[in-house]
Structure formats: C-alpha cells, structure tokens
Amino acid sequence: MKEKITVIGAGHVGATTARRIAEKGLADVVLIDIIEGIPAGKCLDLNESAPIEGFNCKISGFSGNYSEAKDSDIVIITAGQARKPGMSRDDLLANNMKIMRTVCKKVAAVAPDSILIIVSNPLDAMCHVALETTCFPKNRVIGMAGILDSARFRAFIAMELNVSVENTYAFVLGGHGDNMVPFPRYSTVAGIPISEWLSDEKINAIVERTKGGGAEIVDLLKVSAYYAPSSAAVEMAEAILKDKKLILPCTTYLDGEYGFHDVFLGVPVKLGISGVEEIIEIKLTEDEQIDLKKSATSVLKLVEDMQRLKK
C-alpha cells in the first residue's frame, strides 16, 4: 500500500504542498478544505497534469469529509485565516486557534497514528493547540518553520556570494516570528564558516533580511509565501516517510532541553519514521542563549494570550 499524506487547507500553501508531494511521487494525497469545490477542483487540475508530469500518485480533494483522511501516515495542516485589514492580532489568534482545534479533533478521530506537520500561523502557538487537542505524543506534533527560515538564510548567502545554494548550510532556530534566531556561527559555505566569506556587516544584513523574510514576500505578493513553505513541509514529510534520520531545524516540544519546559521552539531534531526521534542539543554562546530565551518568552506569551482568549 502506498503511503498517504493528508493536507488540510487547500489554499496557496496546501495546494502547492499537494503538488510537490505528487510530483515527487512521495505518497497518495488527500486535500481537504472547508470551502466547497476548491479541493476537488485543484486535485482534478493536478490529476490532469499527471500524464504530462508523469506521476502516478492518487490525489483527491474533499470539502469537509475527514473520513477520507483515515489512516494517513502524515497530516500537514495549513488551514487558517490570513490577517485582514482592521483585524487585531488577538482576533487572528483566536480565529486560527479555533480552526486548529476543529481540524485537530477531526484528524485525531480518523488518523490517530499519524504524524502532524503544522504549518498554520502563528506557528509555535498552533503547535501548542495541536498537541493539546490531539493528545498525540510530543514526537508526533512537529512545526514547520526552521527549514523555511534557514532556506531563506541560505538563499540570501548564495545571492550575496554568487555561489550555488547547494554549497550553503545555515541554521535558524527559536520561534517563527520577529524573535527567530539565525545562527551565523553554524552557517557555512562549502563547509567553511560564513564569517570567512562575509564581513560582520554583511552577515548582520543577511540575518535581518532573514528575520523579515516572510514580511518581504507579503509586501510584494500581498499574500503570504507558499513556494518555500511547501518545500519545507514536504522535506519534513519525506524525511519521516523514508525514515531518513535527517537532522533539520523543526519546531518541537521542549521538556527540559535547552533549559526550557512546556514550550514549542525551533531546534535541530532528527526526523525519522517516528517523527522527532531525537532533539539535538548544540552548545550555545551566552548571547545565543539570551536570544533563544527571548524567542521562547515570546512563544510563551502567545500561549498565555490563548489561555486568556479561551476564557
């Protein structure tokens, strides 16, 4: 039997994720949305591209029919609402919290052994909601952020140096927000630290551009990014399904690691068939520790806000 990935939310990120999974031949895909017609329409269009692209995965789209997600190996959740003009941060948080809770209840009922990859924002907060709602073990609720932020960091390094992106390696940890923590010290080009390639000034500029990477895309597109986010989610799914034991920066539940408790934060993890199989604790400098703490504090603040909004 082929592996099965369900993608919830058939918007920009969800549909592009479905397409990438199919084109890689990774698994059969079920695409679910609340809107009538959209998931079925996008899947039909994708199926019609299959003879040309040459993929053989089954892709099917449904509106609200979660029974089709039954026994999925992986569920990628992209459902959510974008911030609209005049909408407060709290309104957005409350809406997306509600959506995440509804989706997770349905997913847990039909695919209780699945591994969840959370993409919806605010990412770290949504991971908390998913863990609390599904009661899945912590290794099976994983947030997509670090791979995306690191890919942006890598792309900017490659652009600056006019070298192949394949030569670049970079790490961005912490929360997926203004307080994310790019780690220039662990970032290299052809295995050589970037400090040997770039001045401090240039590195700082790349770090700042990485932190504002999401906003830079929104300014241009007027909607949030979807090509790179879907690539990142699919890299996680592939590492899990193929049991790669790949070390990637992902948002995971920390229970004492890095000195933090009861908080989802981006750190390097080993991804394999069980989801997060190990949390890799790298040595941090004092400054890096301070930055990571700041990031954890802002995630915990969102969790507090959600408690307040629940009342």
Give the active site residues. 176
Shortest distance (Å) from residue 85 CB to ligand APR: 15
The β-bridge partners of 189 are 168, 192
Nearer to ligand APR, 42 or 270 (CB): 42
**Residue 192 — φ and ψ, nearest 5°?**
-100, 130
Place of tokens 């970037």: 194
Pairing of strands 168-169, 275-279: unpaired
Shortest distance (Å) from residue 188 CB to ligand APR: 27
Q: Sign of dihedral through CA atoms 174, 177, 180, 182?
A: positive
Shortest distance (Å) from residue 82 CB to ligand APR: 5
Nearer to ligand APR, 76 or 292 (CB): 76
| Contact between residue 111 and residue 235 where contact means Cβ atoms under 8 Å apart | no
Shortest distance (Å) from residue 34 CB to ligand APR: 4
* Chain residues that interact with ligand APR, rule: CB under 6 A: 8-14, 33-35, 78-80, 82, 99, 102-103, 119-121, 223-224, 226, 229
Query: Which residues are CB-neighbours of 277 under 8 A, at least 6 positions away?
Result: 139, 245, 269, 270, 271
Nearer to ligand APR, 80 or 174 (CB): 80
Residue, CB closest to ligand APR: 11
Helices 146-161 and 200-211: angle between axes, nearest 10 degrees: 140
| Contact between residue 246 and residue 234 where contact means Cβ atoms under 8 Å apart | no
Nearer to ligand APR, 224 or 298 (CB): 224
